[in-house]
Every structure is written in structure tokens, then in C-alpha cells.
Amino acid sequence: MIIPEVKFKLANIDFEVCNLYYFSFFCGDWNKFVFKRHPKLKEHLKLAKSENERKLAIRNYVKKFWKENNHKLMNQRKKFQEEWDKINDKYMTILSDVLETEWQNEKKNITALISINPICPRILKTWTFSIFGLEKNIKKVYKTIAHEVLHFLYFKKWKEVFPKSKESSFESPHVEWYLSEILAPVILNNLKIQKIIKIKASGYEEFRRIKIGQRNLIDHFTILYKEHLKKKESFSEFLKIAYKEIEKYRKLIR
């Protein structure tokens, strides 16, 4: 099996503007994470009314922020690369073992874009994700990278189990996307993975607010996953069970 490497580089301005615009205006209350890190951006956007004005305000803000923090971001890129390199091969190997599928036969690296956006989207087709470049806690960096990398192998496995799935269903607001985000922290808390990244995964706040009986959504699927491990069922079988389970609560989650 050929193990992919995560390669870190700075995001370009178009990528930054596109994502900051999306998470500021089209992702519910997730903009609170953006504005917590960039309160001055929130002030700039109050004066912008049209789409063009908002994008221009974001672009000008990004340019100024980059200019003032370029050295810091470059140092972070180097630090993230050095730290992740220490566990890359172990994590990739264990993840392959846990999900019971191998990485691709041909060498294909994963790109991590150092971004000023505290929310970290992933692009499945290009094996690309962003990571907040000003994060100081290296364990949180490990957790974010591990989470995003997991998605690339998880959906490879998903297509093996459900070959008729459309890739468009792997994105929000489809139930397949919801399940992938619910299961990501569940899988990352597998003891084999925790021995490597050494920080518990918690998952999205939204999923912890949704109750199934007395348990929140993530705890509910954690119990299903632990039962799967106890029974020593294949991960493929677990995905089938989890898919049937999420379908029961489709309306609740939406």
C-alpha cells in the first residue's frame, strides 16, 4: 500500500475570499467562528450591501491581514509540516486498518491549505482541505488534519460498499454528508487512532444538540460503533447499519 503524505502550502486569495464569503453569509450561525477570529471583518461587512461589495470588502481585508501576518503564517506552515510528518505514516496506516480499505495504488498526496478561515472545508475530488493557520495548539491541529484526511478514505470506502452512490450526495445537505460528519469523531476516538493523535474528537455542536431518546446524536452512533467493534463485524457491515440508522432520523437532522 502506498501511503499519501499531507503537504502544506498557503491558500491563494481567491480561495480565501470564496470561503470567507460563503461561511459569513450562507452557513447559518457558523459565521460566529469567522467573526470571533476576525472581528474587524465583521465591521467592514456591515457597510457592504451587494455581493460585489461584500466580496471586495473580504478581499481587501484578506490582503491587509496577509501583509501583516505573512511571516507568522509561513512559520506556521513550516511548523505544521514538521509536526504532522512525525505521525503521518502511522496515522495513514492505522486509518486504513480501521476503515478496512487501502489508499490508492498510485502515489497521490493530500494538500492542506494554510488559511485565515477558522472553518476547514475539504474538497474530495482534489484531496484538498484548509486548516486555520493561526492555531497554536498542535494537538488541535492534529485533530483537524486527522478529521479532514479521514473523509478522503471514508468516501473511498463508502463507494466500495455503496457503488451506486452519487458523489454529489457526499456534500451538504445530503444525508450521506451528515452521516460522514457524525461518524468522523466517532471513528477518530477509536483507541488505535487515539494512541497516535492523542486528543479526543467532539464533533459538531449541532449534532450534540440533537437528541435521540436520552442521548445526543454522536453518542448514539458511538454506541453503535462500539457494538460493531465488540461483535468484530466488518466496517462495511457497520456502514450499512449506520446508513439505515441515519435514515430513521433524516427529518430530525434536517
User: pLDDT by residue (tens digit) across 185-219?
Assistant: 999 999 999 999 999 998 888 888 999 988 999 99
For the stretch 206-215, pLDDT in tens is 888 999 988 9
Instruction: Establish how many alpha carbons lie within 13 A of residue 104's alpha carbon, considering only the half-sphere containing its beta carbon.
Output: 11
pTM over 0.75: yes
The predicted pLDDT at position 251 comes to 83
Mean predicted lDDT score pLDDT of the chain:
95
Residue 103 lies in a domain: yes
Distance CA 31, CA 106 (A): 38
Residue 89 lies in a domain: yes
Q: Is 112 a residue whose pLDDT tops 90?
A: yes
Domain that holds residue 118: 6-253
Question: How sure is the predictor about 30, in pLDDT bands with cuts at 50, 70 and 90?
Answer: very high
Residue 177 lies in a domain: yes
The predicted pLDDT at position 213 comes to 87
The predicted pLDDT at position 176 comes to 97
Residue 78 lies in a domain: yes
The predicted pLDDT at position 254 comes to 72
Which percentage of the chain shows pLDDT scores above 90?
A: 87
The predicted pLDDT at position 177 comes to 96
DSSP H helices, the chain, are: 13-25, 31-37, 39-46, 51-85, 88-99, 138-161, 175-188, 191-197, 205-209, 217-231, 235-248, 250-253
Least confident of 16-20, 25-29, 149-153: 25-29
Counting the structural domains of the chain, the total is 1
Q: Is 107 a residue whose pLDDT tops 80?
A: no
Residue 161 lies in a domain: yes
Question: How sure is the predictor about 61, in pLDDT bands with cuts at 50, 70 and 90?
Answer: very high
Q: Is 132 a residue whose pLDDT tops 90?
A: yes
Average the pLDDT over 67-72 and give the result.
96
The predicted pLDDT at position 253 comes to 80
Average the pLDDT over 99-110 and give the result.
90
The predicted pLDDT at position 74 comes to 97
Residue 1 lies in a domain: no
Least confident of 6-15, 82-91, 167-176, 206-215: 206-215
The predicted pLDDT at position 38 comes to 97
In the three-class reduction of DSSP (H, G, I as helix; E, B as strand; rest coil), residue 9 is classed as strand
**Cis, peptide link before residue 121, omega less than 30° from 0:** no
In degrees and rounded to multiples of 5, residue 138 shows phi and psi of -65, -25
Q: Is 228 a residue whose pLDDT tops 80?
A: yes
